[in-house]
Chains A and B, each alone.
Chain A
Amino acid sequence: MDDPLVYARAVHFAATIVTTGAIFFSVFIAEPAFSKTEAGARSPAILRALFAWVVGIGLALAVISGFAWFVFVAQSMSDSGFAEVFSEGVVWTVLLQTGFGHDWLARLVLAGLLAAVLAVSFQRRGRRSLSDAVAVVLAGGLAGTLALAGHAVGALGFEGFVHPAADFVHLVAAAAWVGMLLPLALLLTAVAREEASTVAAHAAIWRFSNVGLVTVAVLLVTGLINTLYLAGSIAALTETDYGRLLLLKVALFLIMVAIAAVNRQVLSPRLLPDGSAAESRKVLSRLRRNATIEAGLGALIIVIVAVLGVTPPGLHQQTMPDMQHHSH
């Protein structure tokens, strides 16, 4: 944990996931739900402004932490200090001549385009379906391309294609689920204070629940593929640091799924269109508390992912031949 790269990775993963998740939430959950608010409801305007702040801060943090990640990797690749990385042109070599550098260039372009599209669509009221679609694609790309900076790349043959593809989809799904929890908690907080938004809150809950169901299924399948490639044996899972961290991550994920199942099976069905306002407030408050707990568990998972990226994967730690070692 003395590796500063771990911290840069943790902040970058969290910032990217929150940015992408807030954009997904705004387009797929919040705006369709806002159309159900009664006239005079104030929460849609408040939430739109809040989501814009979340995305803006998230994007800024992603760029800053992405820069730090890049510098740490350039130092490690060239075995040089912080100053030499700049004075001796290592940054350009890494940026222009390595796969990691190309991925980082592509992601910087994605982040720039995303900022431009959001700035334009935020100014323009009315129909914004085209800019929404472009923002969703760019945001998904920003999360997914994190796959190309990790253990998923480098393999030869069939694995060389399937593993990065699975990891790309895994990251987009993770951003869709974990990244939407914070905006969901914000939405539930805002509508709790406003009777005119209750119907919209119910709509948002059910939409989120359905999206969550799909993303959990996608996370399971793509996570299984990643695991088979990186820690695909019982020994690799139980006897290596990588495997044990991965098992801890899976356990946290399962707790999140259990909470989501309670939300969907027990709490959400109690939100009846003709139910009492008191009952609705109680359920919405519990859902908000659960979303906050799930977001906390998601943050823990992101920290584990940050560490996993600098830990030698279980399978190869076991099969590592003599006379060679991992020198990261």
Chain B
Amino acid sequence: MQARIIVLSLLLAAAGTSAARAHAFLDHASPLVGSTVATAPHEVALTFTQSLEAAFSSVQVTDAKGARVDLGKAQISGNTMRVGIKAAGPGRYQVHWHALSVDTHKTEGNFSFTVGGQ
């Protein structure tokens, strides 16, 4: 009986501590989602809750006018996705990501960050 309780508690503990759930969602980003940064970043880095399929995941960064400022193909490894940014001035930037989890399910999302200049 005691052994059963121990096993059950271990299972519950394992379930409770895992932040990752099925399907890949954005866990955190750099620059931070919705943040204002002093200088323009050299890259945007996204960390997801699940491992990604590199062949079918992508990210685009656009400026306030809608022009692309990312350097194209993102580097994807495990649950992270990073893309370089062209030299960019102050303003608001939009990040649109498209993720395919290794469980074959797709997710997508948007966020913005602001580069303060003055």
Contact = CB atoms under 8 A, between A and B. Distances in A.
Contact of A155 (B11, B50, B55): B50
Interface string B101-118: 111111111110000000
A225 B8 CA distance: 10
B23 A229 contact: no
A159 B108 contact: no
Interface stretch (B14-22, B37-45, B63-71, B81-89): B14-22
Contact of A98 (B56, B105, B111): B56
A98 B52 CA distance: 9
Given A100-B102, A155-B50, A159-B14, A93 B20 contact: no
A296 to B, nearest CB: 29
A262 interface: no
A50 B49 CA distance: 48
Contact of A156 (B11, B22, B79, B104): B79
B100 interface: yes
Interface string A217-230: 00000001100111
A232 B15 contact: yes
Interface residues of B, number: 36
Contact of B55 (A98, A232, A312): A98
B100 A77 contact: yes
B11 A225 contact: yes
B23 to A, nearest CB: 6
B53 A313 contact: no
Contacts of A158: 14, 17-18
B24 interface: yes
Contacts of A328: 105-106
Interface in A211-244: 224-225, 228-230, 232
Nearest to B108: A327
B54 interface: yes
A315 interface: yes
A97 interface: yes
B26 A324 contact: yes
Nearest to A233: B15
A176 B23 CA distance: 29
A325 interface: yes
A160 B102 CA distance: 11
B106 A154 contact: no
A263 to B, nearest CB: 26
Given A151-B22, A225-B11, A323 B55 contact: no
22 contacts: A76-B104, A77-B104, A94-B55, A99-B102, A151-B22, A152-B103, A154-B20, A154-B50, A154-B101, A155-B18, A156-B51, A157-B18, A157-B20, A159-B18, A159-B20, A160-B51, A229-B18, A229-B22, A315-B22, A323-B110, A323-B111, A328-B105
Interface of A: 73, 76-78, 93-94, 97-100, 149-160, 162, 224-225, 228-230, 232, 312-313, 315-316, 319-321, 323-328
Interface of B: 11-12, 14-15, 17-18, 20-26, 33, 49-51, 53-56, 78-79, 98, 100-111
